[in-house]
A and B are shown apart, each in its own frame.
Chain A
């Protein structure tokens, strides 16, 4: 694999993460638990899908085969998506939505902070824009973790269940493969081991404050770096790609 191919795959991975989580959150549009949260989650979805668009545009340019952002989002099959298993997990109850969001927000926050040092100008620019947005997302999910964890008996129980249930998907956030190896060497991508240390420390701190017990690391689910997904991604794509599949190249 050369640097160009690695960069293309890397951009896809980042874009897929944002698109799939953005799609998940958009499912809450008009279904939020309260009006403010309905607005908050859809705003976050908008940021994520916006970031995904810029990443797909860049991926398409890097690839240089004439594909567009839409081709990349709507015309790839499940096995060609590289988003983490965590990002595709269903919304569940509000505690699950928040726990999933919190784990990803903490990751994104430290990740984009590191990406600001990338030697790739475009990724650096995208990180400068994204870090401002992600900071707000993290503030939002952190406050909910504290509120639910240290809230009522019921909210505490639900959040603990959500954290326990999602923990097995968190190990994959830090997995690295050949793509990372090549780009770390070039000074383009951050080393995810460094992000992991910061992630663990932040997550431990917030969970402790919210009186939630941090789960022990056990078996961690894996597969997305190779395009292997949980059963949930297929349903997301079936809905998201419907129009382009039924009416190829349809335009607004």
Chain B
């Protein structure tokens, strides 16, 4: 019989093996959407929070969690959605940011702004060549969490993980 704590550690390890459906180089735990792992009687409850209200990946993440845990022998699993505190890119670990950069996505710069409106977009270094000479193409990109940039030196377009 394993103690509850060791068990939770193992569960976190399992969750850490689940890739984000849209950005597979980071896991769902790296992304920070896993908010809580707890036992409610004999049911394992995982609380997740959406990155964006309409993020289409949330359903997929839910199913991936259920499948992963079921495959690992956890029979009764419930995934529930919580909204507070609201998800922020501040929860993405430094190590995960580095993996994003290597994958070609510029990681969020600095910490989430409260007054996004008055703030000019910060310098976003190119993930390919490191140049700081880059330009915003569009505030919206291939997924809700990204913006489009281009590098004026190496001329490559790239995704930027928006800081929210």
Contact = CB atoms under 8 A, between A and B. Distances in A.
Interface string B78-113: 000001111100000000000000000000000000
A98 to B, nearest CB: 14
Contacts of B55: 46, 50
A127 B119 CA distance: 21
A245 interface: no
B50 A129 contact: yes
Contact of A47 (B53, B87, B139): B53
B53 A130 contact: yes
If over half of A's interface residues share one DSSP class (helix, strand or loop), that class is named, otherwise mixed; here it is helix
B53 A128 contact: no
| Residue from B50, B53, B144 having most chain A Cβ neighbours under 10 A | B53
Contacts, number: 75
Interface residues of B, number: 23
B137 A36 contact: yes
Interface residues of A, number: 30
B54 A46 contact: yes
Nearest to B83: A125
A132 B140 contact: no
Contacts of A54: 53, 83
Contact of B54 (A48, A122, A135): A48
Contacts of B148: 36, 39
Interface of A: 36-37, 39-40, 43-44, 46-51, 53-54, 109, 122, 124-126, 128-130, 132-133, 135-136, 138-140, 142
Given A109-B117, A133-B52, A138-B117, 17 more contacts: A37-B138, A39-B141, A43-B140, A46-B55, A50-B54, A54-B53, A125-B86, A128-B86, A129-B53, A129-B86, A129-B87, A130-B53, A135-B116, A135-B117, A136-B116, A140-B139, A142-B117
